[in-house]
Amino acid sequence: MNDTQRTWLSSLFSLAIIAFAVFITQRFILPLLWAAILAIASWPLFVRARRSLGGHDILAALAVTLLCAAALVTPLALGLMQAAHQAPALAAYIATANNEGLAAPDWLERLPVVGGAILEWWQTTLSQPHGLAHLFTDGGPGPHLHSASEVLRTFGSAVMHRMIDVAFAFLSLFFFYKDGPALLSQTEAIGRHLIGNTRWQLYSTKVPTAIRATVNGLVLVGLAEGLLLGIAYEFAGVPSAVLWAAATGVLAIIPFGAPLAFGVVAAVLFFHGHTAAAAGIIAFGAVVLFVADHFVRPTIIGNATKLPFLAVLLGILGGVEMLGLIGLFVGPVVITLFVTLWHEEKLFRRGGH
């Protein structure tokens, strides 16, 4: 067996090990990705904490993990607590509407242009028994949700599943902090071996920069939008303002998600006769959205990654479309690496001439 054959066999052996490892751990890949993103985004905070604690890796890892958990889980917990208070009544309403059909509101047919089409769709789907189950299962067989307890059990099961993922993500985050220097050293060794020292130095600096900029530009700005609009909801007298604020903050992380949130809130106020409050929410939300999307996010993300905001937007939207929520952060990283490759090839061609 010659050296080329040994190289090919060695490569196939390595790929087989990687494939089996991914197969075994596939259930936990998404929480691990979230933990890795959080670790990269907050690594400077961990370094400062470790320095303040005299170089104790475990104490610093535990402190920063708890801080991240408090910052991310507290708004979610407040929203879930608020939802829990109204869950029995909402579950009973959903079960009744699904089993008996949901009558179309009177104002629907008065809507200009699209009112007739929406009314016809409503009557053929939502007004029919089990219309809600049919709607949420894309026309396939779905649960009948005969009682409020079934609705609560289904929702509770989904929440518990997500909470397990969240708990595992924060557990992984702790170990990423604690073993971060060793992981970084091993990753750098592998990267330099595969693509060379020069290219590794070029690309390895782009990934953490893109992730931190995306986290700051999407998550922090989105949560700030939720906080500001939540204050407006409270002043406007929106029922369950805290719950709506939490939902707005989560949706505001996704581009064009915030208008959906405060648009629904304004619609609820409008159809309850609070026209002035609804107009105020729309106006205030539009101002907050304009400032966030045209000044704050482009400055935070574009300046850090050296990308035009259109490229960042394509990365975000394409990532969400293909990968779901995790694509919010993976998409901009991929676009950043692509642009880096583009500039590298241009420099290579110039050097060749």
**pLDDT (tens digit, 9 = 90+) per residue, 26-58?**
888 888 988 998 898 888 899 999 999 888 888
Question: Is residue 23 one of the residues assigned to a domain?
Answer: no
- Residue 92: is its pLDDT beyond 80? no
The tally of domains found in the chain comes to 2
User: What pLDDT score was predicted for residue 142?
Assistant: 46
For residues 190 and 96, membership in a common domain is answered with: yes
Which residue type does 307 have?
L
Question: Is residue 156 one of the residues assigned to a domain?
Answer: yes
Question: Is residue 8 one of the residues assigned to a domain?
Answer: no
**pLDDT (tens digit, 9 = 90+) per residue, 64-83?**
999 988 877 776 666 666 66
For residues 42 and 146, membership in a common domain is answered with: yes
Comparison of pLDDT for 188 and 123, the residue scoring more:
188
Q: Is 188 exposed, middle or buried (0-12, 13-18, 19+ CB in 10 A)?
A: middle
- The mean pLDDT value for 245-250 works out to 83
For residues 130 and 213, membership in a common domain is answered with: no
Question: Is residue 341 one of the residues assigned to a domain?
Answer: yes
For residues 190 and 210, membership in a common domain is answered with: no
Question: Is residue 311 one of the residues assigned to a domain?
Answer: yes
> What is the average pLDDT value for the chain, to the nearest integer?
77
Question: Is residue 17 one of the residues assigned to a domain?
Answer: no
Banded model confidence at residue 140, pLDDT cuts 50, 70, 90: very low
Q: Which of 195, 224, 247 is the last residue of a domain?
A: 195
For residues 278 and 165, membership in a common domain is answered with: no
Distance, in Å, from the CA atom of 318 to the CA atom of 149, rounded to the nearest integer, reads: 38
- The mean pLDDT value for 108-117 works out to 58
Can you list the pairs that 27-30 forms with residues at least 24 positions away whose Cβ atoms lie under 8 Å?
28/168, 30/165, 30/326
Buried b (16+ CB within 10 A) or exposed e, 280-293: bbbebbeebbeebb
CA dihedral for 21, 26, 32, 36, sign (positive or negative): positive
For residues 288 and 186, membership in a common domain is answered with: no
Distance, in Å, from the CA atom of 101 to the CA atom of 117, rounded to the nearest integer, reads: 18
Residue 239: alpha-carbon gap to chain centroid: 26
State which residues form the domain around 107. Answer: 28-195
For residues 145 and 214, membership in a common domain is answered with: no
For residues 161 and 214, membership in a common domain is answered with: no
Q: Which of 170, 195, 220 is the last residue of a domain?
A: 195
Neighbours of 262 (CB within 10 A): 28
Looking up tokens 């924060």 gives 170
- Indicate the SS3 state at residue 130: coil
Distance, in Å, from the CA atom of 209 to the CA atom of 325, rounded to the nearest integer, reads: 19
Comparison of pLDDT for 48 and 142, the residue scoring more:
48
Ranked by mean pLDDT, the top range of 14-18, 151-155, 195-199, 285-289 is: 285-289
For residues 178 and 53, membership in a common domain is answered with: yes
